[in-house]
Chain A
Amino acid sequence: MLEINNLHARVDDKEILKGLNLAIRPGEVHAIMGPNGAGKSTLSNVIAGREGYDVTSGEILFENQDLLALEPETRACEGIFLGFQYPVEIPGVSNMTLLKAAMNARRKHRGQDEIPPGDFLAWVRDRAKLVKIDPKMLSRGVNEGFSGGEKKRNEILQMLILEPRLMILDETDSGLDIDALKVVSDGINALRSPERSTVLVTHYQRLLDYVQPDFVHVLARGRIVKSGGPELAKELEEKGYGWLEAA
């Protein structure tokens, strides 16, 4: 599904990713862990296509097409979803407006007609239950006045509604209490399927207790320095990252 080869990327003339390789097959859940400043968020942003993240060499293939040649909105329409570490507020634009525009952009991309408003409403209500969001909240401005936990749950709700094929969750677990963490994990698990892949970018092992990864990678100094199964996360929890960074 996703293949990253020898990726080098810089932010403000500073090289952050220095030859990163990663391959994700359909249905797999990959956790990317690592110390602060290792380049985890840079990786998420490069995949989603954020401006200011310059790829200097290497390639990213998404279902065998050159992802880096696509605009961010096209990547999203092709099925990539980035769950933001810091979801932004957009005052006056209701969550429903944003979601509907996002949904219809995808449908247009696939040559489908706009979704009938009634169907859309029913679908949103159904999905909102999964993450315990009161549908009334959705008539409010995007993330406007939402608590930190609500913002993260809202990210998961958007994902549940849009049903992407590749989900990249950038520190979605940070700042969540245990109940919210469970709700968020349930949301992620609800979307797990043999056709869908997930990348969990996280600091802590905590989330991985709820969302069982197939692979765990350690990102340090701009590269994947170690890969393994779920047991690697446990090892990191005990030993920290120091022993790998020194290696």
Chain B
Amino acid sequence: MAANPQANIQDVTAMVAGRKLYSAGFITDIEADKVAPGLNEDVIRLISAKKDEPEWLLNFRLKAYRRWLKMTEPDWAHVNYEKVDYQSISYYSQPKSMKDGPKSLDEVDPKLLETYKKLGIPLREQEMLAGVQNVAVDVVFDSVSVGTTFKKKLAEAGVIFCPLSEAVKTHPELVQKYLGTVVPFGDNFFAALNTAVFTEGSFVYIPKGVRCPMELSTYFRINERNTGQFERTLIIAAEGSHVSYLEGCTAPQRDENQLHAAVVELVALDDAEIKYSTVQNWYPGDENGKGGIYNFVTKRGDCRGARSKISWTQVETGSAITWKYPSCVLRGDDSVGEFYSVALTNHRQQADTGTKMIHVGKRTKSTIVSKGIAAGHGQQTYRGLVRILDSAEGARNYTQCDSLLIGDQCGAHTFPYTEVRNPSATLEHEATTSKIADDQLFYCRARGIGEEEAVSMIVNGFCKDVFKELPMEFAVEAQKLLAVSLEGAVG
């Protein structure tokens, strides 16, 4: 289990001083909760030392950092934002102290509370999400009933589900074998940055032939309270195993970090299946586009084994800027990749999202269903790549991307790329762009249904093909979330 971070500081300070790696000024900084803003090799060494990491991991971070220095931030996405000053970010802070949080819900942004109310979130849980002092997740979920049963059940099945930093210590051979093998350290600008500085994340290992007895959810991962700014997730499904993983929760969380650059790596061995579902609802900024999270994520699944399957389902309604392409590398023969996405941009939100399906193995199959909804001044881009390599005899892809516009100030764009190097491949592509028709709205209203409810009903209908891929309880919440996110989109 994670040791008390406060107690660690002294040890680290001593260790660092002993190695004389850091300047005196720096040591003073360590004693505070946060290191001074800025990124250099010393900061990375410090992060690694704080986490008591083995040398290979430090070297992995440093390699990534050195590569990152030579990289430039990508600008091909269809999004506009003020560039991030990477030297103004503090890359290490103690797990957030309760002292920083509001004392009670009275101190929390009323708009956030209003959203909680609409989503029907219980009071204690609201306090936890808003980061109110002295309310820990285990209080909300009653650590005895939920946490313990949960842990016991997983242990019986042989499933490993813990923070990545813990896995580095308890299962170093697994972490070393797989980390960075799906998303290489120099994959892209944000992935390189993440590799250099990641501090939090999840590790999942499902042993051979095991069907994970429950949905794994970060929401219930009670050891780590804050979603990290540079989160790193690694999921490995051994031969013939099966796991469904849920990321995020439908309630918007209070978060002071503007930049999020996560990396998620999935590995599915022979006959294994991973289903990864995300509901992302970070702060989108206000009506005028002030504030909001930049969500620059690299998510990739490797269908390494024959007949393996990786399925991504995402509902993206939050963040000011979304830059995200959950992808599948279909290496194993007969492996299957799926991507189901709903992305909604309202007000001034911008999303450039889609997927990459790389067909390597024979008879590999991929399905892409993307539903983009733009309202207000929102901008919505689907960007997808289907690449069929020489070796991918008999590969198939089906792509469907639909956009729905609400109002006339928003925009929807589609950039489908295909590269086919094997003539036996079959590709199908369908794309539509539609507006919520006035006659659909009037039809609902003439039945007594108010305008906002009607819009949300029509949008939910539009998203049905994706929602049905979500685990049941998530699907219901996702519908509510969509309704809340669409408020003010009409009229």
Residues of A whose CB lies within 8 Å of any CB of B are: 48-52, 71-73, 75-77, 81-82, 84, 87-88, 90-93, 97-98, 101-102, 105-106, 109, 141-142, 158, 162
Contact = CB atoms under 8 A, between A and B. Distances in A.
B448 interface: yes
B445 interface: yes
Contacts of B437: 88
Contacts of B464: 92
A77 B449 CA distance: 8
Interface stretch (B236-244, B372-380, B450-458): B450-458
A106 B447 CA distance: 9
B86 interface: no
Interface in B93-146: none
Given A73-B445, A102-B447, 19 more contacts: A71-B445, A75-B446, A76-B445, A81-B446, A82-B446, A87-B443, A88-B437, A88-B443, A90-B443, A90-B461, A91-B461, A92-B462, A92-B465, A98-B457, A106-B448, A141-B461, A142-B443, A158-B447, A162-B448
B474 to A, nearest CB: 18
Contacts of A90: 440, 443-444, 457-458, 461
A91 B402 CA distance: 13
Contacts of A92: 460-465
B150 to A, nearest CB: 31
B442 interface: yes
Interface of B: 437-440, 442-451, 453, 457-458, 460-465
Contact of B445 (A72, A81, A84, A158): A72
20 contacts: A48-B446, A50-B446, A51-B442, A71-B450, A71-B451, A72-B446, A73-B446, A76-B447, A90-B457, A90-B458, A90-B461, A91-B461, A92-B464, A97-B461, A98-B449, A101-B447, A101-B453, A102-B444, A105-B447, A109-B448
A92 B467 CA distance: 11
A105 B449 contact: yes
A240 B442 CA distance: 33
A151 to B, nearest CB: 11
A7 B446 CA distance: 21
Contacts of A52: 438
Nearest to A82: B446
Contact of B448 (A51, A73, A84, A97): A73
Contacts of B457: 90, 93, 97-98, 101
A75 B445 CA distance: 9
A91 B446 contact: no
Nearest to B451: A73
B447 A162 contact: yes
A84 B447 contact: no
Contacts of A49: 445-446
Contacts of B447: 76, 98, 101-102, 105, 158, 162
A105 B453 CA distance: 10
Nearest to B462: A92
A69 to B, nearest CB: 15
